[in-house]
């Protein structure tokens, strides 16, 4: 599964995803809850920062864009400042927004969250203020929306319907959209609203209700995997669906298709905020399936993405880099220190996105001794992540002569992997390390003090050109691999 997930997430391409639904603007007002108001028993929020993000179907579009796909947007906005701001956000993401219709007598759906920070602790949502209209759209506007939808179908690879029950997807419109898409040979994925009647979604390809929504529709509580299996069978049969993914919060998700009945488990999470979890599931399924993924792989990726999402504040897109890191962590690859260059760069990019400092050094590390241990300890003290460029056997021979190395490259890598001061190792063939340094672009480049001055260190000019540091590590006198090997040979000669 590890290889399949990595291959899929690395080859998503840039499919075009039609995202239809209730477009919203999420506004976050952050501040310090400094005291209780003398006017009423409520906290006083001293505003420090205000930000806005894509919400609802716009959140799905943002998630689609973060995965490298192109969202084609269809929905309704108010002719107001919030609508203009939401269009700016979507345009910046590379979304196609000509299908967003502005109306004068309807506000842009906006959810404003007041978030307080008390005594420098975890941010806490104090209140949410909603500005919206859930009234059904007039018939002429529905006709215009369906027409824009019809015109977009020949440009896209898959269709998403995100229904928050704000009036855009009444039964007649929803059914017509599903009919048009399936007639055009396109999959239709639906994230349904909380409702007792799902008949308007009949004939869709895939439905993604959460545990609560599924329980409401099927008439029994979905608590266990067996309950989820029964509920999925019920939905697939009654609505003529090809697939059902019931999201089960901390338990993962249940997938049903014609051939698959499988529980996709989730690892324990430090849940910060569940906002946007349903959006990222829909977006990840859509992009994966548009890239010709099978349902099981797509469900695994969507489950992983939702897990990353709930550890963030608010509806925040999940990137391909974060997905790669998560896959590596869950399937054990992150515990493997020896990396290919591509895998190493994915890891380094992820670490840098978290503000971590990358330290780089290189060498043969043939016969590990105290000098190496002290040297690598010095490296670790200079930053967060220590990357060792390890000379391959052929490059060691080119540098040291035909009798070296004593230990093969994978044996040397295994020994280095056992040191807590080493985070990652990559093997390189070129006798010069400059090409690898240019790939890694370390924040700190380190070599031993035997180089004399940092100006002579290979790659020093390059590293300093972008503000990186070059350091010389102190040496333990009398300790070197060559000296150790020579001493062993002398002892062997004496014994013979």
**Is 125 part of any domain?**
no
Sign of the four-CA dihedral 32, 35, 37, 40:
positive
Domain boundary among the residues 334, 356, 387 is at: 334
In a domain, 118, yes or no: no
Please indicate, yes or no, if residue 459 is contained in any of the structural domains: yes
What residue ranges of the chain have pLDDT lower than 70? Answer: 2, 118-122, 267-276, 312-315, 329, 331-335, 478-496
pLDDT for residue 290 = 95
443 within 8 A of 468, measured Cβ to Cβ: yes
The answer to whether residue 422 sits within a structural domain is yes
Has 227 been annotated as catalytic? no
Q: Which residues contact 355 (CB under 8 A, 6 or more apart)?
A: none
How is residue 372 written in tokens?
């190496």
Both 281 and 348 in a single domain? no
Q: Per DSSP, which regions of 156-227 are E strands? A: 158-162, 188-191, 206-207
Report the pLDDT value the prediction gives residue 175, as an integer from 0 to 100. Answer: 97
Domain boundaries, position 381: 337-495
The helix/strand/coil state of 469 is strand
Q: Which strands sit side by side in the sheet containing 243-247, from one edge to the other?
A: 96-103, 70-78, 16-21, 158-162, 188-191, 206-207, 243-247, 253-256, 261-264
Q: Are residues 191 and 312 located together in one domain of the fold?
A: yes
Summarised one tens digit per residue, pLDDT across range 201-240 is: 999 999 999 999 999 999 999 999 999 999 999 999 999 9
* CB-based contact 248:222 (threshold 8 Å): yes
**pTM, 2 dp:** 0.69
Q: How many domains does the chain have?
A: 2
> Residue 122: inside a domain, yes or no?
no
Residue 42: inside a domain: no
Residues pairing with 54 in the sheet? 25
- Which pLDDT does position 207 carry in this prediction? 97
Burial (Cβ within 10 Å: 0-12, 13-18, ≥19) of residue 352: middle
pLDDT at 385: 95
| Integer angstrom CA distances of residue 51 from 48, 54, 256, 275 | 10, 11, 39, 16
Angle at 308 between CA 234 and CA 342, to 5 degrees: 115
- Tokens 């300093």 sit on residue: 464
> Do residues 377 and 475 share a domain?
yes
| CB contact at 8 A, 454 and 460 | yes
Q: Which residue in the list 279, 366, 423, 443 is annotated as catalytic? A: 279
pLDDT value of position 333: 55
CA-wise closest residue to 173 among 143, 148, 196, 151: 143
Q: Are residues 17 and 141 in the same domain?
A: yes
Length of the chain (residues): 496
Q: Mark which of 279, 310, 334 sits at the end of a domain.
A: 334
CATH number for the domain that contains residue 350:
3.40.50.620
Nearest Cα residue to 167 out of 193, 198, 136: 136
Asked whether residue 116 is domain-assigned, the answer is: no
Strand pairing of 261-264 and 253-256?
antiparallel
From CA 121, how far away is CA 225, in angstroms rounded? 36
């Amino acid at each position: 599964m590890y290889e399949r997930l990595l291959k899929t997430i690395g080859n998503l391409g840039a499919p075009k995803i039609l995202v239809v639904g209730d477009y919203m603007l999420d506004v976050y007002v952050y501040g310090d809850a400094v005291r209780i108001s003398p006017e009423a028993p409520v906290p006083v929020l001293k505003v420090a920062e205000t930000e806005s993000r894509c919400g609802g179907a716009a959140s799905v579009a943002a998630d689609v864009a973060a995965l490298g796909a192109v969202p084609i947007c269809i929905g309704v906005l108010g002719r107001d400042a919030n609508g203009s701001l939401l269009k700016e956000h979507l345009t910046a993401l590379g979304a196609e927004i000509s299908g967003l219709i502005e109306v004068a007598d309807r506000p842009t759906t906006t959810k404003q969250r007041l978030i307080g920070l008390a005594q420098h602790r975890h941010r806490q949502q104090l209140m949410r203020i909603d500005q919206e209209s859930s009234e059904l759209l007039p018939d002429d506007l529905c006709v215009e929306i369906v027409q824009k939808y019809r015109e977009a179908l020949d440009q896209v690879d898959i269709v998403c319907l995100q229904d928050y029950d704000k009036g855009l997807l009444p039964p007649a419109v929803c059914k017509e959209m599903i009919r048009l898409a399936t007639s055009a040979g396109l999959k239709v994925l639906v994230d349904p609203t909380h409702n007792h009647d799902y008949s308007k979604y009949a004939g869709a390809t895939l439905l993604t209700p959460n545990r609560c929504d599924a329980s409401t529709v099927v008439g029994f509580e979905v608590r266990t995997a067996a309950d989820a299996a029964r509920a999925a069978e019920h939905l697939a049969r009654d609505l003529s669906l090809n697939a059902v993914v019931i999201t089960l919060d901390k338990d993962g998700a249940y997938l049903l298709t014609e051939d698959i009945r499988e529980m996709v488990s989730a690892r324990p999470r430090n849940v910060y905020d569940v906002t946007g979890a349903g959006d990222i599931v829909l977006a990840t399924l859509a992009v994966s399936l548009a890239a010709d993924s099978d349902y099981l792989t797509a469900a695994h990726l969507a489950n992983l993405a939702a897990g990353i999402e709930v550890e963030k504040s608010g509806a925040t897109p999940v990137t391909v880099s974060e997905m790669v890191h998560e896959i590596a962590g869950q399937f054990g690859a992150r515990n493997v220190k020896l990396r290919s260059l591509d895998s190493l760069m994915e890891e380094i990019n992820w670490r840098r996105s978290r503000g971590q400092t990358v330290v780089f050094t290189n060498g043969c590390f043939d016969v590990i001794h105290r000098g190496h241990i002290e040297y690598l300890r010095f490296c670790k003290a200079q930053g967060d992540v220590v990357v060792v460029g390890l000379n391959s056997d052929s490059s060691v021979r080119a540098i040291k002569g035909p009798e070296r190395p004593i230990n093969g490259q994978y044996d040397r890598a295994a020994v280095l992997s056992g040191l807590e001061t080493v985070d990652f190792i990559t093997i390189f063939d070129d006798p010069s390390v400059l090409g690898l340094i240019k790939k890694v672009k370390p924040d700190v480049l380190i070599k031993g003090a035997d180089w004399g001055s940092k100006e002579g260190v290979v790659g020093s000019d390059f590293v300093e050109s972008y503000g990186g540091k070059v350091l010389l590590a102190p040496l333990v006198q009398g300790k070197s691999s060559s000296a150790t090997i020579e001493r062993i040979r002398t002892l062997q000669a004496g014994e013979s």
